[in-house]
């Protein structure tokens, strides 16, 4: 194999690795990037995601870069022996590649556990909303700490309306089969299981309309089981709640 042929092979290999990485952001923009978080629970999830993806990307770049460097630096050349000097055993190196990954995993686990309370623990003064999942819609009833809306349902049954900067605790039930309530911009998904009550919470830090989807296959109408959460200002909420029947 000539030197020119080896160089062409190396360039082709590098291109095969780099080209997908260059095209990936555009191809995966809607599927592999974090949602824009709109509250503390979703911010915590986003922070964990970024910590994990950042760590793995650094490892990928370091390992991949070293492989590319080694392939170029130590490639076969005329007059150079085919087999490099052989080395057998290095306790320092073996301890290093064992301990460093363990420390990385411990660091990521510690960061995750540090963030978990922001995701799992609803504040004691949260507005309570009962969520009923059934084929193929979610419906809502306002509970404790919801003021004039307590005991009432939203004016549009499938659209949950809540005030901004107010913690909302969801008590989720299922009427028929398993479902899953999830609005990615607001917080974690939560299973709706027949015969059980599961909980999650969110607090939207700005007004707007947020969309989600049942993320547990629940039958032929699963794709139509959408979720809409409308976040309004405190004054608009008081007006809205006072007008519910």
DSSP codes of every residue in 3-26? HHHHHHHHHHHHHHHHHHHHHHHH
| pLDDT tens-place string over residues 9-47 | 656 655 655 555 555 544 444 444 556 888 888 888 888
Asked if residue 192 and residue 177 are part of one domain, the reply reads yes
For residue 4, what pLDDT is reported?
59
In a domain, residue 84? The reply is no
Tell whether 145 and 205 lie within a shared domain. Answer: yes
Helix (H, G, I), strand (E, B) or coil at 241: helix
Decide: 191 and 216 in contact? Cβ < 8 Å.
Answer: yes
Same domain, 183 and 111: no
For 48, the token pair is: 């964990």
Percent of the chain with pLDDT over 90: 44
Residues 6+ apart with CB under 8 A from 164: 204, 205, 206, 207, 231, 232, 233, 234
Q: Are residues 143 and 109 in the same domain?
A: no
Question: Residue 168 has what pLDDT?
Answer: 94
pLDDT band at 217 (very low <50, low <70, confident <90, very high): very high
Whether residue 137 is predicted with pLDDT greater than 90 in this model: the reply is yes
Can you give the pLDDT at residue 121?
Answer: 85
How far out from the chain centre does Cα 89 lie?
Answer: 41
Q: ∠ CA 33-225-196 to the nearest 5 degrees?
A: 95
pLDDT in tens, 47-87: 888 889 889 988 999 888 888 888 888 777 777 766 767 77
pLDDT at residue 1 greater than cutoff 90: no
User: Residue 174 belongs to what H/E stretch?
Assistant: strand 168-174
Judgement on whether residues 11 and 103 belong to the same structural domain of the protein: yes
The model's confidence at residue 244, banded by pLDDT at 50, 70 and 90, is confident
Domain of 16, CATH number, reads 1.10.287
CA–CA distance, 168 with 231 (Å, rounded to integer): 11
Question: Is the pTM for the entire model greater than 0.85?
Answer: no
pLDDT for the residue 10:
56
Mean pLDDT of 117-144: 91
* Co-location of 137 and 237 in the same domain: yes
Q: How many domains does the chain have?
A: 2
* Residue range 145-173, pLDDT digits in tens: 888 888 999 998 889 999 999 999 999 99
* Same domain (yes/no): 13, 115: yes
In this prediction, residue 81 carries a pLDDT of 67
Confidence class for position 178, pLDDT limits 50, 70, 90: very high
Residue 198 is predicted with a pLDDT of 94
Q: Are residues 146 and 98 in the same domain?
A: no
- What pLDDT sits at residue 207? 94
pLDDT of the residue at 35: 67
Other Cβ atoms within 10 Å of 227 Cβ, number: 21
Indicate the Cα dihedral angle 28, 26, 224, 201, nearest 10°: 60
- Same domain flag for 110 and 147: no
Q: Are residues 109 and 159 in the same domain?
A: no
Range of the domain at 112: 3-76+90-120
Q: Based on the fold, state whether residues 8 and 97 are members of the same structural domain.
A: yes
- Strands 127-134, 168-174: pairing kind: parallel
**DSSP reduced 3-state for 115:** helix
């Amino acid at each position: 194999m000539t030197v020119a042929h080896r160089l062409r092979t190396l360039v082709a290999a590098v291109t095969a690795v780099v080209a997908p990485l260059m095209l990936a952001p555009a191809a995966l923009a809607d599927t592999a990037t974090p949602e824009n978080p709109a509250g503390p629970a979703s911010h915590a999830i986003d922070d964990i995601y970024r910590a994990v993806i950042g760590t793995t990307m650094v490892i990928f770049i370091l390992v991949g870069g070293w492989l590319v460097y080694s392939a170029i630096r130590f490639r076969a050349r005329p007059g150079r022996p085919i087999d490099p000097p052989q080395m057998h055993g290095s306790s320092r190196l073996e301890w290093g590649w064992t301990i460093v990954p363990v420390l990385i995993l411990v660091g990521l686990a510690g960061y995750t556990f540090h963030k978990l309370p922001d995701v799992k623990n609803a504040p004691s003064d949260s507005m309570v909303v009962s969520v009923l999942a059934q084929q193929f819609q979610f419906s809502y009833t306002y509970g404790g700490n919801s003021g004039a809306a307590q005991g009432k349902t939203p004016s549009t049954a499938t659209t949950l309306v809540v005030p901004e900067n107010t913690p909302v605790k969801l008590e989720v039930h299922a009427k028929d089969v398993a479902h899953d309530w999830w609005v990615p911009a607001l917080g974690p998904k939560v299973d709706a299981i027949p015969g059980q009550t599961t909980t999650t919470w969110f607090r939207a830090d700005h007004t707007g309309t947020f969309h989600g989807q049942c993320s547990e296959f629940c039958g032929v109408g699963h794709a139509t089981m959408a979720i809409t959460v409308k976040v309004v200002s405190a004054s608009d909420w008081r007006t809205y709640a006072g007008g519910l029947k």
